[in-house]
Amino acid sequence: MSDARTIARLRFPPWQVCELQGGYAVEDAEGRRLGTFYGKTDPVEARQAGLLTLEEARQTAFDFARLVELLEKARDAEAPLRTRSS
């Protein structure tokens, strides 16, 4: 696991969101970094530079971490459809 502070370790297993200086990272269960999302604390500065705000970076990291959960739900929802059409 990285030295970054883990803020959602148990929330979206097997991926976790870690706070970094100026952003957030998503790591897998073995500590490999899957994505990094940076933002600016000042919304005006972020807009002028065409970057995310820190809050937008946080939300994007959490959404990215939920991908495994959402893909599993979609696969499970499609399973009955595949069974009927076979």
pTM here? Answer: 0.71
Q: Where are the domains of the chain?
A: 5-85
Q: What is the pLDDT along the chain (86 residues), one digit of tens a residue?
A: 445 555 544 455 688 999 999 999 999 988 899 999 999 999 999 999 999 999 999 999 999 999 888 888 888 887 776 665 55
DSSP string, 36-72: EEE-BSSHHHHHHHT--BHHHHHHHHHHHHTHHHHHH
DSSP string, 5-38: EES-TTTBTTBEEEEETTEEEEE-TTS-EEEEEE
